Homo-oligomer: A and B are copies of this chain.
Amino acid sequence: MNLKQLSEHLNLSQTTVSRALNGYPEVSETTRQRVAEAAQRMNYSPNARARGLATGRALAIGHVIPVSSKHEMVNPIFGDYVSGAGETYSKAGYDMVLTLVDDATEAETYRTIKSRGNVDGIIVHGPKIDDPRIPLLLDLDLPFVVHGRSSRTTGDYAWVDINNRRAFERATRYLLELRHTRIALLNGLEDMDFAYRRRIGYGNALAEAGIAPDPALMRSAEMTEVYGYRSAREMLAMANPPTAFLVSSMISALGVQRALVDAGLKMGRDISVITHDDDLSYLKNGLDVPIFTATRSSVREAGVRSAQLLLDIIHQRASARTQLLEAELIIGTSTGPAPKD
């Protein structure tokens, strides 16, 4: 069923049917009713490609996911983020197009996306410090929103990010108030912008307290469960072990927890743990009482916000082009005063 058939069936021109369905005023209300009813009944919906060709808009948003050949981990937050974004697109009648791309050929990919024209804008994932994609995209004149930010990048671009620095500053301060002085940082990969900012926050708080950061207590890697386990295990075996862990992800925090159990240590009493909590749907931080003291910020919410911002930009009704979300510090049972020695 296409427009032509539908219009013939109704004894109307394609023009009129099209206008009727798209809510143009030059159609009488009775005709509009008749058209709408027939379209419904015959299950007509316009061909997206033809419409796109005619209007120049694709009604789709692209998400380019860099898939590094080196570390082929899929980010566990991906599902929740996409669910938030996707819901927003759905409401606006947009599709979501995912493109997995080897990070080697990325630049070319963005050019291709632009000239293939099957999306109206894109979301940039996993920005790094001084990320080359941002100047490239600014240059390409393709609307985009960065999920996160990129330090040291010049240029005015749109982003939605959480205040990673502040979150980790507060978390570190909290541990310091509990009289911890040897605080380990299990961070994400520090070429990623979010991890970089978290380390700054951690460093700031330590500096305020006059404590020099100890490289032996700072790690940076992909945030797997095993990473948390192994790091905690090794650090606990040190001559002068940490009394607290600040961890960049719940998954890794679970690994830390496992190492503590192995070592016969009780979390919250012998050792304190704070983690960042993305509020993932399948990995809630306890029910009423949080298990982990955590800096919490819903990544699903970030998905909603960045999608909405991009749509607003495309429709030229965005007021502000950046959004900085604050993470809340929630107190769970995983932290307590530093043990006296």
Contacts and interface: CB of A to CB of B under 8 A. Distances in A.
Interface of A: 1, 43-50, 52-53, 58, 60, 65, 67, 72-76, 78-80, 82-83, 86-87, 89-90, 95-101, 111-112, 115-118, 222-226, 230, 251, 254, 257-258, 261, 280-284, 286-287, 291, 300
B225 A282 contact: yes
B86 A90 contact: no
A222 B251 CA distance: 19
Given A53-B50, A118-B95, A100 B111 contact: no
Given A79-B79, A97-B97, 19 more contacts: A43-B115, A48-B116, A49-B50, A49-B53, A49-B58, A49-B118, A65-B83, A67-B86, A74-B83, A74-B282, A75-B79, A78-B79, A83-B100, A90-B101, A95-B118, A96-B99, A96-B100, A224-B282, A224-B284
B96 A90 contact: no
Nearest to A82: B98
A74 to B, nearest CB: 4
Interface centre among A48, A224, A283 (most CB of B within 10 A): A48
Contacts of A251: 282-283
Interface of A is mostly: mixed
B115 A86 contact: no
B116 A100 contact: no
A166 B224 CA distance: 30
Contact of A49 (B52, B99, B261): B52
Contact of A45 (B80, B115, B282): B115
Contacts of A52: 49
B53 A284 contact: no
A287 B60 CA distance: 41
A316 B97 CA distance: 25
19 contacts: A43-B115, A48-B118, A49-B49, A49-B118, A65-B83, A67-B87, A73-B282, A74-B83, A75-B282, A76-B282, A87-B100, A95-B97, A96-B97, A98-B98, A226-B286, A226-B287, A230-B287, A251-B282, A258-B291
